[in-house]
Amino acid sequence: MEKLYEGKAKILYPGAEAGTVRVYFKDEATAFNGQKRGEIAGKGAVNNQVSAALFRHLEAHGVPTHFVRELSEREMLVRRVEIVPLEVIVRNRAAGSFARRYGVEEGRVLPFPLVEFSYKNDALGDPLICEEAALALGLADREGLADIRALALRVNTLLGDYFARRGLELVDFKLEFGRLPEGRLVLADEISPDTMRLWEVGTGERMDKDRFRRDLGGVEEAYQEVLRRVLEEPKPV
Ligand code: UDP
């Protein structure tokens, strides 16, 4: 089957139904803008199933997404969208690039969930961008940015609660949004341990791609454990 696009972690193929795309999740892993490369056995299957479960949960709570259904262990069917060229990051604690950029210790709880935007542009290394610059470059309009911000914060509330019931803390995550042909904004891409930081409640153990980025070991095991938690019955908190 002819590929529509191949990225670092996924391959897109035309879907069997009009207006759809089949997403295949790979085991390949990259970090630091592609400077670090490797493979995480079973990652594709975990990311597909975690993303599917989270998209279903969000849809059930009123967040529109591109998700249609799972096709196999490693593949899902999604609606074809035009991706808004912004990476939308929500942070509950300082970590990663935020902690480095502002010289604060990783783990500091932020007084409110912070929304940041990066300009999706590989050649430029996805630079941080302020809302005014995004408007000036025509990446989105004011209403679009306001909608994206509100949806991202709603996703933070829903997923923060979802993971808390499974013994994991949602530290930060990255979202991408797209527009359906009729213009409606929907959540797109993936939501997986590649795109979220999840810390074990109590110990702070890293249960996400930081195990790969920082050579912490137990990478495959952490991904499998996140899938297990996502599929398990939630506990009351
Ligand atoms: N993230 C992502 N893709 C990116 C950059 C970041 O999915 O290209 C996610 C990352 O996994 C983390 C959050 O967004 O959950 C914030 O990442 P950060 O800006 O701290 O960058 P990093 O530490 O990954 O360089």
CATH 3.90.79.10 fits 82-217, yes or no: no
Residue from 88, 97, 206 to probe ligand 1 pocket by mutation (most atoms less than 8 Å from CB): 97
pLDDT at position 146 is 98
Whole-Å CA distances, 233 to 129, 167, 191, 230, 236: 39, 12, 19, 8, 10
Cβ within 8 Å of residue 76, ≥6 positions away: 22, 23, 25, 48, 51, 52, 67, 68, 69, 70
Q: Please tell me the distance from the alpha carbon of residue 191 to that of residue 25, in angstroms, as a whole number.
A: 12
Q: Please tell me the distance between residue 195's alpha carbon and the centre of ligand 1 in angstroms.
A: 6
- Which segments of the chain have a pLDDT < 70? none
CA dihedral for 212, 208, 71, 86, sign (positive or negative)? negative
Pocket, ligand 1, Cβ cutoff 6 A: 87, 89, 95-98, 126, 172-174, 195-197, 209
Q: What CA–CA distance (Å, rounded) separates 188 from 190? A: 6
- pLDDT at residue 33, as a whole number: 86
Q: Residue whose CA is closest, atom 2 of ligand 1? A: 195
Q: How many Cβ atoms are within 10 Å of 181's Cβ, its own excluded? A: 10
Residue whose entry in the numeric block shows the structure tokens 């590989």: 122
Q: What is the pLDDT of residues 58-110, one digit of tens each?
A: 999 999 999 999 999 999 999 999 999 999 999 999 999 999 999 999 999 99
Helix boundaries (H) for the chain: 43-60, 96-102, 131-136, 142-164, 210-213, 219-231
Q: What is the CATH number of domain 5-79?
A: 3.30.200.20
Residue among 172, 177, 214 whose CB has most ligand 1 atoms within 8 A, to mutate: 172
Geometric angle at alpha carbon 57, from 56 and 61, rounded to 5°: 115
Q: Give the domain ranges of the chain.
A: 5-79, 82-217
pLDDT of residue 180: 98
Residue with tokens 């009009």: 18
Amino acid 188: pLDDT? 98
Distance 182 CA to ligand 1 centre (A): 30
> How many angstroms separate the alpha carbon of residue 18 from the centre of ligand 1?
33
User: What local confidence, expressed as pLDDT, does residue 154 receive?
Assistant: 98
Mean model confidence pLDDT for the chain? 97
For residue 97, give the ligand 1 atom closest to its CA.
20
